[in-house]
Structures are given as C-alpha cells and as structure tokens.
Amino acid sequence: MAPNHNNTLPHVPVEGKYPIVIVGAGRMGLSIANMLSSDARFSICMVDPVEEAAKKAELEGFEVLEFDATNEQKMAAILKNAFAVVVAAPSSVVVPVARLAVRTGCHHIDLCEDTSVLDEVTRIGSGVSSILVPQCGLAPGFVSSLAGDIIRDSGDDAQIRVYVGILPTQKTNRLGYGNIWSIDGLITEYTKPCRAIVSGEKTELPPLSAYEELMVDGVSFEAFTTSGGLDGLIDEFEGKVKSLVFKTLRYTGHLDYMKFLIEDLGLERRIDFLKNLLSNGLSAIDQDRVVIGVISKYRNRLKTGNPLTEHSHFQFIQSRQHGDGSYTSAISIATAAHACCILDILSSGLAPHEGLLHHDEIDLSLLQKSCFYKHFAPQ
C-alpha cells in the first residue's frame, strides 16, 4: 500500500522522521522505545501519568508527557501530528486511544490480550483509512504469524497446538514464576474463556484445562489452556483446520498452585485481591526466557493416501545482559520486536490494506522483511 499523502492523515514522515507516540512508559513501553530508537527513521514521544515511570523514561533520553492517555483533548492534540500510536498500557486505555487514532488519522497498535477489547477495536477499525493492528506482541502477534504459516501449508484435517512459555531462567519458588511482564495480563489469561477450534468448529474452552506434560530441550514443562493467545486465527481458520488450541507453558507444579488460588479459594470472584496477592508476592524478574512451540499433525497435500504426520518446532528467546550487569527480559525483547516490526511494515508502506489488520494477514515472510525481526532469531 502506498503512503497516503492526504494532509489530514500524517502518514508521511515529519522532518525526515515518523513521529511515534508510545502510551505507557512501563517495562514494555520503554522496551519498545529503546528498540525503536535504534532506527533513525522514527522519533518517539511517550505518555504516562505515573511520575516514577515518566522520570525513568526521561533518564533514558525520551520525551515524556505526564498525563492520562484517556484525556481526550490532550491526546487528540498529540495524535493529530503522529504517524502511529502504540498502546502499552492497561486495557482500559486501548479503546479510547483507538477511537482518537481513527479520528485524527493516526495508525494504532496495541498490546492488549483482552478479547472484549479486541472486539471493540475491531468495530472501531471497520472501514476506516487508518490502520489498526490490535493484540501485538508475542501471543497474539508473532506466534499468530508463525502458526498461520503452518496452517496455510496444512489441510482441513490438521490438528495444531501452539505453546508459549514466559518463564524465569531458573525455577526459584513453588509457582516457578515471577512478576515478569504483566500481572493484569496473567490474570486475564488465567480467568477468561479460551477461544479454540475443535472438530473444525469455533468454540470456547475453560482456562487452565486440557493439561499435558512436555519435555523440551531436557526441561519438563506442563501446558494448559489460557485465553487470548490466538484469537484472530480462530476466527479466520474456522472450518479450515480440524483443531487449533493455544496453551501456556509453565514449570511443572505451577498449575496446581494457581488452581488452589483461583478455584479453591474462589479468587476468580475477587480479582483485585488476586492481583494484589500476586503483585506483592512475586518478585520482579528480568532474567527470563521465552519458549515458543508448535506441534502439528497434518497430511502432505502433495501426496494422496498419506497418514497424519506429526511435526514439532520449538525455539527460545533469552534475556540479555548488559555491560553494567542489568538485563533486558526475553519477553520485553519479543514484545518490542513484534511491535517494532509492525511499525516498520506500516512506515514502509507494506501493510496489505487500511482499516483493521489481522495477524493472519501478516505472514512470517512479511515480518522477516523488517530489520527488527533479527530479535526473534532462535537461540
């Protein structure tokens, strides 16, 4: 798609740079800003109402506007001069910013996994000239493109399971987990219905179900259903594949403790209490690793009469240590890399169309054209 030169739509660079607004100067927002700043084509402005987060981002050299992004007047004034806005903030911020992005002609991407937010952004993005790419990051996001490529190479009798684990490098407590990325996102994954395809039809599975154990690279993991991992693919490939299920990977023993909290103690009905418990009880962790896997069963479509054959693909992304001894977490790297790949695709005029852009429309070969794709290199 060629860049739009309409003066009401800021789809061309200003003074040689594409102005990007990042809403949220927390761990994910700052990771995106740092990675994107390595490319001279982009200029960055951040928005965050939290003084501590704003000061940290300023110390790293970024311009930060300290106000709530749901402030319609202030956000509209910023977005009318922006090429794109990236929402790396709580889910309550996503929809108001998406509406303002469409109104001001600014492209919009977000990292939110909440399916109800996705549904609303989908309605907002219908028939508009801005490009909206919801649910960016690792899963949905990169994993959606990876799984989509596999599905397109298989038949309607294919059975596909997709796995993603965000884990401490070493298991240090009984949960085998820590405050790695977002407690809000974790609770959403563990308590909302999980969209899936079973027997060729779209359905919803309960979270924390369909338990299985896996051995990957000599490490024992458990896997179970969680919400939000492949929502866009479920809608797109209903009837085109026999089964498609997303599961989270954790160290063995994690699920039993979480079920005790959520089900036995009834904290699924006291989400604020569960959030406080996990936020205060789990230590922040930057030394982590991301495990990405796809196990698929399908027939070779070039031959007839062949049985289903199982194929598996697993890769790791590791946290990175810097010269001062600090770390950038693996999930921050993966999330930032996908968000930056999408911004690169938009600024290069490679998006397949305007309006809502689903991840199944962003195939792996398109992501690989971005200079930021190198961060997904298997380790």
Q: Are 305 and 365 part of one and the same domain? A: no
Residue 7 lies in a domain: no
Inter-axis angle of helices 330-347 and 27-36, nearest 10: 50
Q: Are 145 and 36 part of one and the same domain? A: no
pLDDT tens, position by position, 217-229: 899 999 999 998 8
CATH of residue 283's domain is 3.30.360.10
Q: Evaluate whether 254 touches 221 at the Cβ level (below 8 Å).
A: no
Residue 348 lies in a domain: yes
- pLDDT averaged over every residue in the chain: 90
The reported pLDDT for the residue numbered 2 is: 33
The reported pLDDT for the residue numbered 231 is: 82
Residue 43 lies in a domain: yes
The reported pLDDT for the residue numbered 325 is: 86
pLDDT at residue 103 tops 90 = yes
Distance CA 250, CA 150 (A): 24
Q: Are 154 and 178 part of one and the same domain? A: yes
Q: Are 159 and 296 part of one and the same domain? A: yes
Using alpha carbons, list the distances in angstroms from residue 166 to 161, 173, 181. 17, 15, 9
The reported pLDDT for the residue numbered 303 is: 60
HEC string for 28-85? HHHHHHHHHCCCCCEEEEEECCCHHHHHHHHHCCCEEECCCCCCHHHHHHHHCCCCEE
The reported pLDDT for the residue numbered 302 is: 57
Q: Are 83 and 163 part of one and the same domain? A: no
- φ/ψ region of 44 (left if φ > 0, alpha if ψ in -120 to 50, else beta) reads beta
pLDDT at residue 347 tops 80 = yes
The reported pLDDT for the residue numbered 379 is: 55
HEC string for the chain? CCCCCCCCCCCCCECCEEEEEEECCCHHHHHHHHHHCCCCCEEEEEECCCHHHHHHHHHCCCEEECCCCCCHHHHHHHHCCCCEEEECCCHHHHHHHHHHHHHHCCEEEECCCCHHHHHHHHHHCCCCCCEEECCCCHHHHHHHHHHHHHHHCCCCCCEEEEEEEEEECCCCCCCCCCECCCHHHHHHHHHCCEEEEECCEEEEECCCCCCEEEEECCEEEEEEECCCCCHHHHHHHCCCCCEEEEEEEEECCHHHHHHHHHHHCCHHHCHHHHHHHHHHHCCECCCEEEEEEEEEEECCCCCCCCCCEEEEEEEEEECEECCCCCEECHHHHHHHHHHHHHHHHHHCCCCCCCEECCHHHCCHHHHCCCHHHHHHCCC
Distance CA 237, CA 218 (A): 33
pLDDT at residue 3 tops 80 = no
Residues of the domain holding 162: 141-318
The reported pLDDT for the residue numbered 9 is: 37
Q: In b/e form, how buried is each residue of 232-249, taking b as 16+ CB within 10 angstroms?
A: bbbebbeeebbbbbbbbb
**Sequence-distant (≥ 6) Cβ neighbours of residue 305 within 8 angstroms:** none
Residue 84 lies in a domain: yes
Residue 330 lies in a domain: no
The reported pLDDT for the residue numbered 184 is: 87
Note every long-range contact of 48-51, with CB atoms under 8 Å and residues 24 or more positions apart, other chains counting.
Answer: 48/23, 48/24, 48/89, 50/25, 50/26
Q: What is the average pLDDT across 116-124? A: 92
pLDDT at residue 115 tops 90 = no
Q: Are 175 and 287 part of one and the same domain? A: yes
When divided into structural domains, the chain yields a total of 2
pLDDT at residue 35 tops 80 = yes
The reported pLDDT for the residue numbered 11 is: 45
pLDDT at residue 170 tops 90 = no
Q: Are 124 and 91 part of one and the same domain? A: yes
- Residue percentage of the chain with pLDDT more than 90: 73
Tokens 């790791």 map to which residue?
316
pLDDT tens, position by position, 242-288: 999 999 999 999 999 999 999 999 999 999 999 999 999 999 888 99
Residue 25 lies in a domain: yes
Q: Are 109 and 249 part of one and the same domain? A: no
The reported pLDDT for the residue numbered 181 is: 82
The reported pLDDT for the residue numbered 169 is: 92
Residue 325 lies in a domain: no
The reported pLDDT for the residue numbered 6 is: 35
Residue 13 lies in a domain: no
Q: Are 231 and 291 part of one and the same domain? A: yes
Structure tokens at 115: 């399916």
120-134, 213-227, 365-379: range with lowest mean pLDDT: 365-379
Q: Are 101 and 194 part of one and the same domain? A: no
Q: Are 161 and 81 part of one and the same domain? A: no
Structure tokens at 104: 């001001």
pLDDT tens, position by position, 289-329: 999 999 999 876 656 667 788 889 899 999 988 888 888 89
CATH of residue 121's domain is 3.40.50.720
